[in-house]
Structure 1
């Protein structure tokens, strides 16, 4: 996994303000990397070691971090925009998904809360909008997990769809939310342009 984002994530990044575009891009790339670790895990212990390596690297002083990992080097270029707690939440979210043939509902819910808070919560804090995106982020993370691992989810999300944020500043979040609602192509681009 080289950090190349899927088209909906690239569209969301394109609508992200320049000031925190690198940090948002990096969070999405890390999320993809961790999903890939879980996807390819034949031995849960090996995947656990890989995620533990990331956790340790995040906790290490920037100048002492291992060299040669582009995503880790990109973290240093983001300054202090990405909080240590967001990185911890993201690793923890994916650790919950290791080792079971079918995921328990409580693990899926915990994953969605942590993953959503790491990505959507960080973005909302950077944007300064001061709105609560927790239900949107939780639904996005749950639906994204369902799309990424359809055979592992035993419980569909039957909760009502949360409203999308209308403001331009939060458009990247609504783009991501729409993309896991199976909205693609022209319809997703129209939403990006207009908010509708």
Structure 2
């Protein structure tokens, strides 16, 4: 998995209400951390062990103070007080775990989309105070688009792109609330990645979304 582009992230974070920004940053940092495990681990068993550690650490946030780990501390301080549980966040690990399977089938793609992207965007909506019903659908499309760009199997990548496109079209067919526009912008970026959009048009479209929610 490739890292989320830092210039895009800096821009999108400005779409989020200032009080909610640290929570969204913490959630994206968790997603980065879980993705990095898959990128840097060659042995599936080692990857599984590292993901299991995160699953258990996230669940413990519901009943214990966080350990001296920056991402966990940020989640405990900025996300859990807004009603998102550690158990809910631990479910994201289950999405990443399916990538340890070979080959990736239809069920694995849908599980990855739901548990990684859907959970992440629902949590981000809660943190931001957004009531956008399409958040989970947008998250699934975002996750699948990212996955498709990193798969070497062309057939599986094509199917991931097909599933991603359908979800992103649905998600962007609605008007996003002001509190949810950072998530809408992430969905837009995912569509640009699928369609090869870049440059001034990309930035202009993001700014239009910021103003209108479309």
CA contact (8 A) 2:23 2:127 kept: no
Which residue does the alignment assign to 2:141?
139
Distance in 1 separating the partners of 2:85 and 2:9: 21
Task: Tell me the alpha carbon deviations over residues 14-65 of structure 1, each in whole angstroms, 9 at most, x when there is no partner.
Answer: 21112221111111111111111112221111111111111121122442x4
CA contact (8 A) 1:62 1:76 kept: no
Displacement after TM superposition at 1:115 (Å): 1.4
Distance in 1 separating the partners of 2:142 and 2:47: 24
Distance in 2 separating the partners of 1:184 and 1:121: 27
Distance in 1 separating the partners of 2:146 and 2:124: 17
Query: Where is the helix percentage greater, Structure 1 or Structure 2?
Result: 2
TM-score by length of 1: 0.83
Task: Say yes or no: does 1:114 pair with 2:115.
Answer: yes
Structure 1 residue ranges without an equivalent (≥5): none
Task: Say yes or no: does 1:98 pair with 2:106.
Answer: no
- The CA RMSD measured in Å over matched residues stands at 2.4
Structure 1 pair 62–30 and aligned structure 2 pair: CA distance change class (3 A): same
Structure 1 pair 176–43 and aligned structure 2 pair: CA distance change class (3 A): same
Task: Say yes or no: does 1:16 pair with 2:16.
Answer: yes
Give the total of aligned pairs.
190
CA contact (8 A) 1:175 1:188 kept: no
Q: Secondary structure at the match of 2:28?
A: helix
Q: Considering Cα pairs closer than 8 Å and 6+ residues apart, tell me whether 1 or 2 has the greater RCO.
A: 1
Q: Secondary structure at the match of 2:170?
A: coil
TM-score by length of 2: 0.77
